[in-house]
Chain A
Amino acid sequence: MARLTMQELLSRMKKNRRFMENVTALRQLPSDQGTFAPFPDWVRPEIVSILGKRGIDRLYSHQSYAMESIREGHDVVLVTPTASGKTLCYNLPVLQRILEEPETRALYMFPTKALAQDQMHEVHGLIGDLKANIKTYTYDGDTPADARQAIRKQGHVVVTNPDMLHTGILPHHTKWQKLFTNLRYVVIDELHVYRGVFGSHLTNVIRRLVRICRFYGCDPVFICCSATVANPKEHAERLLERPVELIDKSGAPTASKTFILYNPPIVNRELGIRQSALTPSRNLAADLIANDIQTIVFTTSRLNVEVLTKYLKDKFSRKKPKDDQFVTGYRGGYLPNLRRQVEKGLRNREVMGVVSTNALELGVDIGDLEACIMTGYPGSIASTWQQAGRAGRRQGHSLAILISRSSPMDQFIVENPDYFFSSSPEHCRVNPDNLLILLHHLKSAAFELPFERGEKFGDENIEELLDYLEEKGILHRVDDRWHWAAESYPADEVSLRSINPENVVVVDTTDTGNHQVIAEVDWDSAFTSVHDDAIYMMESQQYHVDHLDLERKKAYVRKVDVDYYTDAMTYTNVRVIDSFETKHQGNLIAEHGEVQVVRKVVGYKKIKFYTSENLGYGEVNLPEKDMHTTSYWFTIPKDLLSKLSYTQAEIIDGLAGLAYSLHHLAAITLMADIRDIDRSIGDKSGEWFVRHGRDKRIITTGSDSEYNGGEIRRDAFDPTIFIFDAYPGGIGFSDLLYKEHEGLLRSAAKLIGSCPCSHGCPSCVGPILEVGVMAKEVALAILRLVGKA
């Protein structure tokens, strides 16, 4: 069979009616010749010469601009597409400076070890060509102990990650005297990754870094790179707490690209279930690879990598049984050697198809691929562009296809192409002065250097916090200096990445003599998934939870074979403590501010498999979880709702459905994980709130009225939908949601209104079993009532 070219394949696709029925957008992104500039005249001839040998005899305009800016000592943030030569923007000025002043030191920071490794290899390559005595090392948890001393003293360029800076470098800064005395450049790549909790931590790590630099008398230039987001300059300035110059006009040429958004067909209209994204993904991948078009397939889980790889391997190994490399997987967990082998195979086209998690999304060098299939929305528009950028890096025509799943985020993106293709709606938010986060870093900072009276560390009045720590006996003040006065090592007490490092281990006690740990559940979900008498499911095996021991953090389970599963019933009660801002929009009142959230698992339902019949209830006695955080909320006056001709229960279902879709849409705007924020319906006083009852949602006053129904008293309160920060103290999400209030409601109207399901589905208002059959209709009616649909 003759092989088709990319263009032939595309025109065949466009003629395929069944395929095109599911395409919600097909855009041609034009090519661009690029804008070039010569090397600045201060660049050493040997650098120009080695770059020339690599085929670089001039710079893209943004590279030249960035290099000049860095050279002049400006802090910059670079926002240009994948493969626009960002790394050279900082490698060149750094190497130039080291050649001029060999004592110069630079610190590179990447969010993952794999990226750090990759960058080190790149710098190594340049240094090797220069034949210069410049040393580059990675310094992370994998660095052997005996190599560390040499790295501290001799490394010109030290490549690390924020976690290592936080626990391994800053608290031992005296060992790094040489580095900190001569530090001229700090490079922070993938800046957009540092948002939410991680970003709030990072700002504090940078505050500590700057503090240590000041002690050794250095003032490095910060060079940041970021994917395209709505607020790169603001974000960089918030992270670095200094003015930063934005460089976002790319001079790099781009190849033309066809970008397709594909929504798999609905297979069950009743439940709103679509065909699995894996099916079209594997068919398309097979088609492309068979036509000799080098293809990368992204999936959202490690499991899917394996499933797709197996399918494609089976398909192609029939023809090429010996060539096991032809199609391959790639994900975290593969050994470094194997990964390097795959990367090389991709560069020299021995590997024609690769299935990957987002491990290949960021800067790892794999050459220019021709097609990219994204199986499921990667979670953010920025990630989607980065993944798509893996295909067609310089010339020729390339193809990118995003195949959606059923989740509201996926559905909203593919059904609203303009939202996706126009300027980025995604905001990076951080709240470095979140008191809990700030306090952790204040402790670490005091461990590193005593605090002087009047010293600044962020915007808060830290003197009060220092006094607080002194009261706790952790710091000791003498002569206006606060010294670390405890035995512990504070950096070990907090992880930059996770909210709560605690886990509950699940112990299988089926075999009395041989207890085995079969899983770990994070602290928060333990309350709903492994409470006493829950059915815990793993790899299709059911386990009955005999006992959840919170003290020892263990859930004891044993294998059972029953015909039901359990669904925890929880209530979430939000009470407004302080409203920061209020606005009336139409007949709604939107606000944001500080709230108290109380959550409790009160019981569970037993639900029969297949029929979903309710088999009974059980009580759960677990402590409440109580936190203060920030929230955005809006209130719908009860008089307005009374105009609707639905029952009270139906209206509550409608509100729940609306909250469900707003929750997911808010996560898109915030580039947040769905679990980073949460939702609740109640009134502002916290006196009334909606919770799951035995058969339906009910309005109650608390957990005490357990199962005796709780009255439905819609007349007593103005329903309020809260979307709040899941991290105690808040991470800076709520004021942005408040600003986006109108847009969120409009998006919700679009999402629910355009969803083809009959009565509601996981893509719009949530599964019918959860929100009831009227939720979709009522949610839309409410939106019409407030003038949004």
Chain B
Amino acid sequence: MSVKKRLERLTGETRPVKKPSNREKEISELRRRIDIIMTRRPEPRLSPPAQFRGEQVELQAVVRGEEVENACGRFYLARDVVNASSYHGSRRIDELSSLDMEKTAILANEPELTGCRPTEGLFLDTETTGLAGGTGTMAFLVGIGWFEGEAFITEQLFARDFSEERAALAYLSDRAKEKRFLITFNGKSFDVGLLSARFIMNRLPDPLSGLPHLDLLHPSRRLLGHRLENSRLGTIEREVLGLRRDGDIPGSEIPQRYFDWLRQRDGRLVGDIFEHNRLDVVSMATLTVHLAGLLRHDAERDDVCHEDILASARLLLDRGYGEEAHLFLASLLSSKSGGVASEAGRILSLFHKRSSNWEEAVGIWENMLAENDCDIFAVEEMAKFCEHRAGDCNRALKLVENILENANYLTFTEREDLVYRLNRLKRRTEK
């Protein structure tokens, strides 16, 4: 008996259809459950969704492109030029080519990017057969992009079948060798690792892992996270870049569409995926420019919200760009915009304090106290300064006494600390 027959007998798949009694129904119900237990997921559907029924459409007719042949075989390449004068969301493409590399290096936390030109960057985004990771997940479509003159070029490398992956990877390798750094969105934990595995599986050297890499996800979270419900590229496009996509294919449907394509070879199945991927790549370019722009100080700017500036200042401080951060914070402080201004003051004063710039620091604290003499931060910092630096224990004592008397929102530990300080100051002033 064939192996398949035996297997079917074990799983009870081909059972002669007798009178469908209740018992049979129970059994087939149980089998369905066992099947679910065994596969954990419903079986992939074998026929494509309804909108793709009817006459088959060639890939060429849906996605403009051509077959490329190299030493490793063939694959399908779609190339597109986004003109200088066209818009992507609220930005003109030619704005993009003036990307500030110094700021890009800060975003990536890769100092060597400073020495690169914007045209030497390779934007990259993949569409894969799943999100599970591991060696069984393949990137069937690799979208890449770069600046060329004032335009932005995208290329999409499509493996029309598993057998075309090697040729596509070899092509990607050649492109990567022309560039000096990599820009992705979540590429550090997904795309690049996945492609590395694919290079190993195809016995090709991995050109990507060694490149300096700006993963936009991390700076996006830091700079924009405060006003986004999540950090997905689509959300950022909508909320920040002013781009709205119509009829975009949900990411979760992409793997199954590709599996359908493998069987049906109908270009309509993958058309949406190409467009989705192309937009992702262009959006990454826009986003890079946007984020780098946030780090550029321009006092005249009124298009950037104060929270973004504050987030930028924090990032700059963390990366050791104190002077730049200083400018941001100072302008926020003078903007008098409520919470953001006082937070900026707080950060700025601590920055001054750390660099022993006491005059500046005290100036900020005094301003804060003038506005609210029960500002716990300002009181504590000022009291410390008076006691340890200025030798003015009386002033410190007054500040502490005042807040303990008048503030009614102190937490238990805050109050404890203040009382402790108060007692010490009393002892010192009594001496």
The interface of chain A, by Cβ under 8 A from chain B, is 171-175, 177, 435-436, 439-440, 446-450, 460-461, 464-465, 467-468, 472-474, 476, 478-479, 481, 483-490, 492-494, 500-502, 550, 623-628, 728-729
B133 cross-chain contacts in A, Cβ below 8 A: 172, 489
Contact among B29, B136, B163 for A484, CB-based, below 8 A? B136
Scoring A177, A472, A483 by chain B CB atoms within 10 A of each residue's CB, the highest score goes to: A483
**CB–CB B259/A473 < 8 A:** yes
B299 at the interface (CB under 8 A from A): no
Min CB gap B207→A, angstroms: 15
A483 cross-chain contacts in B, Cβ below 8 A: 138, 162
**CB–CB A461/B136 < 8 A:** no
**How does the 8 Å CB contact mask read for B1-41 relative to A, with 1 for contact and 0 for none?**
01110110111100000000001001101100100011111
B255 at the interface (CB under 8 A from A): yes
B196 cross-chain contacts in A, Cβ below 8 A: 174
**CB–CB A625/B30 < 8 A:** yes
**CB–CB B135/A628 < 8 A:** no
Q: In chain B, what residue has the closest Cβ to A474?
A: B44
Binds A, one of B124-132, B286-294, B314-322: B124-132
Distance between Cα atoms of A552 and B121 in the complex (Å):
52
Q: List 24 A-B contacts (CB under 8 A).
A: A174-B135, A177-B200, A448-B135, A460-B3, A465-B3, A465-B7, A472-B43, A473-B44, A473-B263, A476-B162, A481-B162, A486-B44, A487-B132, A487-B255, A488-B40, A489-B133, A489-B134, A489-B136, A493-B38, A493-B39, A623-B30, A625-B30, A626-B30, A627-B10
B43 cross-chain contacts in A, Cβ below 8 A: 472-473
Interface size on B, residues (CB 8 A): 45
A481 cross-chain contacts in B, Cβ below 8 A: 162-163
**CB–CB A487/B131 < 8 A:** yes
**Known contacts A171-B134, A448-B136, A488-B41; A464/B197 CB under 8 A:** no
Distance between Cα atoms of A447 and B134 in the complex (Å):
8
Contact among B131, B162, B259 for A450, CB-based, below 8 A? B162
The interface of chain B, by Cβ under 8 A from chain A, is 2-4, 6-7, 9-12, 23, 26-27, 29-30, 33, 37-41, 43-46, 129-136, 138, 161-163, 196-197, 200-201, 255-256, 259, 262-263
A489 cross-chain contacts in B, Cβ below 8 A: 130, 132-134, 136
**CB–CB B4/A467 < 8 A:** yes
B27 cross-chain contacts in A, Cβ below 8 A: 623-624, 626
**CB–CB B131/A500 < 8 A:** no
Min CB gap B191→A, angstroms: 14
**CB–CB A435/B6 < 8 A:** yes
A174 cross-chain contacts in B, Cβ below 8 A: 135, 196-197, 200-201
Scoring B29, B130, B162, B256 by chain A CB atoms within 10 A of each residue's CB, the highest score goes to: B162
A500 cross-chain contacts in B, Cβ below 8 A: 37
Q: In chain A, what residue has the closest Cβ to B203?
A: A215
Distance between Cα atoms of A521 and B28 in the complex (Å):
23
**CB–CB A486/B3 < 8 A:** no
A478 cross-chain contacts in B, Cβ below 8 A: 161-163
B7 cross-chain contacts in A, Cβ below 8 A: 435-436, 439, 465, 468
B201 cross-chain contacts in A, Cβ below 8 A: 174, 449
Distance between Cα atoms of A472 and B134 in the complex (Å):
21
**CB–CB B200/A623 < 8 A:** no
A450 cross-chain contacts in B, Cβ below 8 A: 162
Scoring B26, B40, B45, B136 by chain A CB atoms within 10 A of each residue's CB, the highest score goes to: B136
A485 cross-chain contacts in B, Cβ below 8 A: 129, 162, 259, 262
Distance between Cα atoms of A624 and B29 in the complex (Å):
11
Min CB gap B203→A, angstroms: 9
Contact among B2, B26, B130, B162 for A486, CB-based, below 8 A? B130
**CB–CB A468/B130 < 8 A:** no
Distance between Cα atoms of A487 and B44 in the complex (Å):
9
**Known contacts A486-B259, A493-B40, A728-B10; A435/B3 CB under 8 A:** yes
**CB–CB B6/A476 < 8 A:** no
